């Protein structure tokens, strides 16, 4: 009996290392883009997963790690108020999950879908992806994200970024089995190797780094403008969270929206995000890559995710490993991001299509149009101290328009058809 339990434990541990491997590429890419420390991101991904598993009573086989929905807001906030104030805003964003969790508990899970229907969520997700298109292209050309600095020779950068992008595309489309879940990892490996061949990589920091060291944790500061800017951003990841919980429910054949309940999963995600920000890590979200791995392996045991969390936290203390991650050249990330940021925008489009949002209806057309132009065009509202723009602004605008504009009568379409016979 004891031997069987020991064997099961080792299998769970091995499966956990595999799950971390699946999540790893996206997990470290987000902090590298935003200027956060990837070792801290590894630690907070593990910590956040453990918090989530505790809150949900180890019932949901998901892994939490860096959220791409927050990239654009974090980049803007870092430039405007600094990393410490950004972390304070992210703590507040995590609290939004807790408020919504309470409302779901009191009013039922349908409350979120009424507040954030597809016509609101779709264009906001599109803004998250399309708003970052310029950053991806600049990095692919060897520049800094804002295009102000040329970090790598442009001709070499194009070779590296295209190789990383093509590798990611090929693996995503043609690979089979567990390898199909590792397109980002494959792109990074090929891009990094080519960068080494072309003499772009500097291994000095890797050589001087210690084997074991404390991750570079950061203490947050609380700045009102950064907090008010970051709070609306949490609304889009909330919908992403619900979609991921529904996906893992479908994979496992269990309704996690009912048990342990959406209020518990939202609370776990929110606490994980706030806890990460308290020590300098990026906000967390449930990872669809890991859900894909769960579907492939048919291993529904949440203990696998707990093992993955412990592995992530352990790797965070290997300083040489962190130095390798920090040494990834800008064009490698830029090439991969050309696909990832576009994919985010496509998720928003698919949200509208899948839910059959009728854009010929004036109300829906107005909500989507204004949201996209405000979000991508750079509209800003407020004073220098308190400014809403980008994802924050378009989230608020989309919600307000949805609440204010009257819904079209159910018979409107039929009446229009009768008055305009072909």
pLDDT at 16 over 80: yes
Torsion of CA 254, 256, 260, 265, to 10 degrees: 150
Q: Place 85 in a pLDDT band, splitting at 50, 70 and 90.
A: very high
How do 284-286 and 64-66 pair as beta strands?
antiparallel
| pLDDT for residue 420 is more than 70 | no
Please provide residue 254's backbone torsions phi and psi, each rounded to the nearest 5 degrees: -125, 145
- Alpha-carbon gap, residue 325 to 323, rounded angstroms: 5
The pLDDT of residue 382 is above 90: no
3-state secondary structure of 41: helix
Judge whether 314 and 95 are in contact, CB under 8 Å. Answer: no
pLDDT at 37 over 90: yes
Tokens standing for residue 180: 């199909």
- pLDDT, tens digit, 9 for 90 and up, residues 143-161: 988 888 899 999 999 999 9
How high is the pLDDT of residue 383?
Answer: 65
Burial of 81 (0-12, 13-18, 19+ CB in 10 A): buried
- pLDDT above 70 (res 413): no
d(CA 371, CA 396): 9
Q: For residue range 302-329, what is the model confidence (pLDDT) as tens digits?
A: 999 999 999 999 999 999 998 988 888 9
Judged against a pLDDT cut of 60, whether residue 3 lies above it is answered with: no
Biggest CA pair distance of the chain:
77
Contact partners, residue 139, CB within 8 Å, separation at least 6 = 145, 161, 330, 331, 333, 334, 337
For the chain, the average pLDDT equals 87
SS3 399: helix
pLDDT at 418: 43
For residue 376 the two structure tokens come to 């991508």
CA 308 to CA 17: how far, in whole Å?
A: 5
Strands 380-382 and 387-389: antiparallel
Mean pLDDT of 354-380: 91
* Cβ atoms 122, 128 nearer than 8 A: no
- In this prediction the pTM is 0.81
Report the pLDDT value the prediction gives residue 409, as an integer from 0 to 100: 66
Question: How is residue 68 annotated by DSSP?
Answer: G
CA end-to-end span of the chain, whole Å?
A: 76
Percentage, residues of the chain above pLDDT 70: 93
The DSSP code sequence of 197-238 is HTT----HHHHHS-SB-----------HHHHHHHGGGGHHHH
């Amino acid at each position: 009996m004891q031997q069987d339990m020991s064997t099961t434990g080792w299998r769970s541990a091995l499966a956990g290392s595999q799950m971390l491997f699946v999540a790893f590429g996206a997990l470290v890419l987000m902090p590298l883009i935003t200027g956060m420390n990837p070792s801290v991101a590894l630690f907070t991904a593990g910590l956040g997963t453990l918090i989530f598993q505790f809150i949900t009573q180890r019932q949901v086989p998901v892994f939490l790690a860096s959220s791409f929905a927050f990239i654009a807001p974090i980049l803007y906030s870092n430039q405007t108020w600094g990393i410490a104030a950004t972390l304070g805003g992210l703590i507040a964003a995590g609290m939004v999950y807790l408020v919504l969790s309470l409302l779901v508990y009191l009013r039922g899970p349908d409350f979120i879908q009424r507040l954030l229907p597809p016509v609101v969520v779709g264009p906001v997700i599109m803004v998250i992806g399309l708003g970052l298109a310029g950053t991806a292209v600049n990095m692919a050309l060897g520049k800094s994200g804002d295009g102000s600095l040329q970090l790598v020779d442009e001709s070499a950068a194009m070779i590296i970024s295209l190789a990383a992008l093509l590798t990611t595309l090929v693996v995503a489309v043609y690979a089979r089995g567990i390898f199909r879940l590792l397109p980002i990892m494959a792109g990074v490996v090929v891009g990094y190797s080519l960068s080494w061949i072309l003499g772009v990589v500097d291994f000095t920091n890797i050589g001087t780094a210690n084997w074991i060291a404390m991750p570079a944790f950061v203490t947050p500061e609380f700045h009102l403008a950064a907090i008010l800017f970051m709070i609306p951003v949490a609304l889009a990841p909330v919908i992403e969270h619900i979609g991921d919980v529904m996906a893992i429910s479908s994979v496992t054949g269990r309704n996690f929206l009912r048990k342990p309940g959406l209020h518990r999963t939202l609370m776990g995600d929110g606490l994980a995000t706030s806890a990460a920000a308290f020590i300098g890590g990026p906000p967390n979200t449930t990872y669809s890559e890991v859900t894909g791995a769960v579907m492939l392996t048919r291993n529904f045991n949440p203990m696998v995710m707990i093992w993955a969390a412990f592995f992530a936290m352990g790797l965070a203390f290997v300083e040489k490993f962190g130095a390798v991650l920090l040494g990834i050249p800008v064009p490698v990330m830029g090439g991969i991001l050309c696909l990832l940021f576009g994919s985010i925008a496509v998720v928003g489009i698919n949200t509208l299509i899948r839910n059959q949002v009728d854009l010929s209806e004036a109300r829906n057309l107005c909500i989507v149009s204004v949201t996209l132009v405000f979000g991508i065009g750079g509209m800003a509202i407020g004073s220098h101290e308190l400014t809403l723009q980008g994802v924050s602004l378009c989230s608020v605008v989309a919600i307000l328009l949805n609440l204010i504009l009257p819904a079209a009568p159910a018979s409107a379409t039929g009446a229009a058809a009768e008055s305009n016979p072909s």
